[in-house]
Structure 1
Amino acid sequence: MSTITKRTFLGIGLGAVAGAAGIGYAMTNVSAAGFEHRFMTVEEMQATGGLIVDIRTPPEWVETGVIDGARLVTFNDPASFLARVGPEIADGRDLVLICRSGNRTSAAARALEGRIPNRIVSVDGGMGKVISDGYKTVPPS
């Protein structure tokens, strides 16, 4: 260790810590199988061409309104959920999941990953963030 100065040693150590922190951050936002958990505006969701599915409950849809054009399917389990939305994503398009805050969509995405070949996006911040950013919801139909 005589050829490495303390300053160099500390620099290498700090670089390793920063790199590990970056890897940890990336792992919280993208799973190994590829689902993403990130915020998207409604315009960004629509631009993907994916199927936007609001997985909240009917009382929640009534309370806040919903995204115009979103499918309203409460997520209870992967099998029943896929029975309802599977035909609509059979063409391979993205599945964009939204709930109130992003917690349920993250859990649903984990439950669905590996069951479908589609890219799954869990919207971080959910409807709370979408509405606070100014999106005007529509009544559920």
Structure 2
Amino acid sequence: MTKWILILGLLFSSLAAHAGLNNISNQELQQLLDQGVPIIDVRRPEEWKQTGVVEGSHLMTFFDKKGNYDVRKWLQGLSEIADQDEPFILICRTGNRTEIIGRFLANKLKFGQVYNVEKGITHWISKGNPVVK
């Protein structure tokens, strides 16, 4: 019995911890873009050149090649796009970096409407969706 209480407690605490982060599919991405929700591509410039970007993307690298980042500088750029209570979309290559960033924004900084493109731009492209170079 104690084992199940512990498992349920962990499950519910993890659900609550992700309340402000929403993983989205390509279809949901398109719906949000159609509604005018801003999209932020957190990849590096060489990645943007390699694949192109979703039209209208704000290009804001988060991690450099070595995995370093400047949260203060990145948040300053974000503040020009969306406030803490406004929705925005994060996209990277496969959704891993943006999930880390999204969890940080939602859980630690209490951003309320962070959308993560779950499988990233590689899945977006693989399904025939457009990008701009």
Same fold (TM over 0.5): yes
Assess, with a 3 A threshold, how the Cα gap between structure 1 residues 38 and 83 changes in structure 2: closer, same or farther: same
Paired residue for 1:131, among 107, 115, 125? 125
- Bigger relative contact order, structure 1 or 2, given CA contacts below 8 A and separation 6+? 2
1:95-120 CA distances to partner (integer Å, 9 max, x unpaired)?
21000000000011122224253410
Structure 1 residue corresponding to 2:115, chosen from 97, 117, 121:
121
Q: Which runs of 5+ in 2 are unaligned?
A: 63-68
What percentage of residue pairs aligned between the two structures are identical?
29
Q: Kindly tell me: are residues 124 and 91 of structure 1, through their superposed partners in 2, closer, same or farther at Cα, counting changes over 3 Å?
A: closer
1:2-52 alpha-carbon deviations (Å, 9 max, x no partner): xxxxxxxxxxxxxx9xxx6xx95xx57x84442112323342230343220
Structure 2 Cα separation of the partners of residues 137 and 31 of structure 1 = 33
When the two structures are superposed, what TM-score results if normalisation uses the length of structure 2? 0.74
Moved over 6 A (4+): none
In 2: Cα distance, 1:97 partner to 1:121 partner:
6
- Tell me what 2:65 maps to: none
SS in 1 for 2:125: helix
Counterparts of residues 17-96 of structure 1 (less than 5 Å): 27=14, 31-41=17-27, 42-75=29-62, 76-90=69-83, 92-96=85-89
Task: Tell me if the contact between 2:18 and 2:103 (Cα under 8 Å) persists in the aligned partners.
Answer: no
Alpha-carbon RMSD across the aligned residues, in angstroms, is: 2.8
Q: Does 1:109 align with 2:106?
A: no
Gaps of 5+ in 1: 1-15
Structure number, greater radius of gyration: 1
